[in-house]
Amino acid sequence: MKTKALILAASLLAATCPLPLAAQSFRDRLPEDETIYFVLPDRFENGDPKNDTGGIKGDRMKHGFDPTSKGFYQGGDLAGLIKRLDYIQAMGVTAIWFAPVFKNKPVQGGPGQESAGYHGYWVTDFTSVDPHFGTNAEFKAFVDAAHKRGMKVYMDIIANHTADVIQYKECPTSACRYRSRADFPYSRRASDSAPINAGFAGDSVKTEENFSKLTDMNFAYTPVVPEAEKNIKVPAWLNDIRYYHNRGDTTFTGENSTMGDFVGLDDLYTENPKVVDGFIDIYGAWIDNYGIDGFRIDTAKHVNSEFWAKFAPAMLQRAAAKGIPNFHIFGEVATGDQDTALLARYTREAKLPAILDFAFGRATVDTVGGNAATEKLNRLIEDDVLYEGGAETAKRLPTFIGNHDAGRFAMFVKRQNPQADDAELLKRVILGHALMFTMRGVPTIYSGDEQGFVGKGGDQDSRQPLFASKTATYNEDRLLGTMTTTAQANFNQQHPIYTTIAKLAKIRTGSPALRRGDTVVRNYAEGPGLFAFSRIDKSNGEEVLTIVNTSTKQLSTNVELDPKSTILSSLHGNCPSTPRAPGTIAIELAPLDYMICTVK
């Protein structure tokens, strides 16, 4: 009865809320038209406290729920997401991407290192919603409610690994180090060097016939599965150790980057064609059954490129057959550097349609959050040529300035400006969002940033809930733009960052140039200060000029324009109305401020 009531409530909520412009044609929007909101369901809103323990008896080491600990379930769920759709949509968000909701192993980790699967990346059942978040029916209710509002839904998916179930006999109390193919070939058993797997030609021959000859998986270690967990994974084929690399923990370099266990998580043998086909079936079913609009791919760089080159086109075909022509696929190729070449390789070699734009994040943290030259932003645009499809592909890269792994943008800003007061920190955070909403790419807001969340670092330290927290390390944080703490619910639609995002989203949604236009960099500096660029829609000639000042000093300068431009008007800030001479305008810009101007 509870599920039926929730579905009815979601339907009524969707029906009574005003639909945004063109809500009935949301399928027609291109990926670059969206404004994305990324959320961890466990850390957003607790809509149904009855599912806090996932229906699992026992203490927190069994069910994983402990709202006083940053590493355990806090209580957020799908019901909470449905409850707060008004809040999300009022910000100007058009697409919601959330961390994996698949059924997870509730608790993992050795003695003293235990934590819970609240983040969703320790999957045991790829076909079911984790009971801490709700049910498959509630997932459908959420997708339907979002779609009725004209909002898209992007799922976070994983093909690199499952939960940690497979153990190694040789390492009963500690992690096993990675053992390479050169030192431990498939043709010899690790324990006694006896010949095994006769006729197996190695994992470079990616055919079913070849992999059928890989029958003995004891080439590096002796993998064992605890009796109680022999059938824990769904679909059932995932319980077969032949579909895992079984070589020990990755160090994230070289060969083991794609073949090692990710901190003990069972690393899938993605070179095996049965694994490829198995995941095409798994995720194709989520498209077929729920009509979702896109996938964010976790740990994409830790999977061999041939896997993605087959998987991504199969998902696009599956979506098209379902009537979803603009299915958005973007992979995570994590890096802390402004390394466009690394990101671009996965659009070429792995054939991924888009990549999370870590290069944009790095450039913005360094220039807006720090004191690097704005030339870094120019280089970001110049490097767009490296992507498969060049600048057109760059337009659909989700751009972000902080995330749930590395940390929030406000944290990076505070770390780089330890002497700055709250007013300066807030200006930098707002300026970072302004840049994200006006530059090429798809602006992606990390849940909580709009409420001034800061945090102390990455991972668990950047995953504060928006509902009232009971976690002391979160509640002692000082937030930006507000006097509240995370001990109180933070859904304030008057928060200065929230209102800024809402305004920027409205400007962007109303401008084809800002969503789909080409980029022309007008001016940049060899230090902090000026960065000016135009977005130009070739189809109608619309031009929007954005000028930012990343320095803490007043900026009085000239900015280049097309000599044919004669009139400017303001979308934000004090734009000059006319050029000072053909091809140039004079501007005044306060420290850490910006202007957005239409140009005709």
Show which residues are catalytic: 298, 332
Please state, as a whole number, how many other Cβ atoms lie within 10 Å of the Cβ of residue 227.
Answer: 7
What one-character DSSP code corresponds to residue 374?
Answer: T
Q: Give me the sign of the Cα torsion angle 239, 241, 243, 246.
A: positive
Whole-angstrom distance, CA of residue 466 vs CA of residue 585: 43
What's at 595, amino acid-wise?
M
Please state, as a whole number, how many other Cβ atoms lie within 10 Å of the Cβ of residue 573.
Answer: 18
β-pairing, 543-549 vs 555-560, is unpaired
Query: At a CB cut-off of 8 Å and minimum separation 6, what does 55 contact?
Result: 131
What's at 268, amino acid-wise?
L
User: For residue 547, which of 567, 574, 566, 565 has the smallest C-alpha distance?
Assistant: 574
Half-sphere exposure of 548 (CA within 13 A, CB side): 31
Whole-angstrom distance, CA of residue 309 vs CA of residue 494: 45
40 touches 404 (CB < 8 A): yes
Burial of residue 276 (CB within 10 Å: 0-12, 13-18, 19+) is buried
Tell me how far CA of residue 28 lies from CA of 25, 276, 313, 316, 443, in angstroms.
Answer: 5, 29, 19, 15, 19
Radius of gyration of the chain (CA): 25
Q: Which residue has the tokens 């150790």?
A: 241
Q: Which two tokens stand for residue 324?
A: 């979803």
User: For residue 478, which of 504, 456, 450 has the smallest C-alpha distance?
Assistant: 456
Tell me how far CA of residue 593 lies from CA of 14, 361, 432, 550, in angstroms.
Answer: 38, 19, 10, 7
94 touches 14 (CB < 8 A): no
Please state, as a whole number, how many other Cβ atoms lie within 10 Å of the Cβ of residue 96.
Answer: 24
Whole-angstrom distance, CA of residue 507 vs CA of residue 544: 10
> C-alpha angle with apex 544: 440 to 557, nearest 5 degrees?
100
Whole-angstrom distance, CA of residue 308 vs CA of residue 287: 17
User: For residue 81, which of 138, 34, 127 has the smallest C-alpha distance?
Assistant: 138
First to last CA, the chain: 59
Residue 253: phi, psi to the nearest 5? Answer: -135, 150
136 touches 129 (CB < 8 A): yes
What length does the chain have?
600
The H-assigned helical ranges of 441-495 are: 472-475
Whole-angstrom distance, CA of residue 259 vs CA of residue 51: 36
343 touches 358 (CB < 8 A): yes
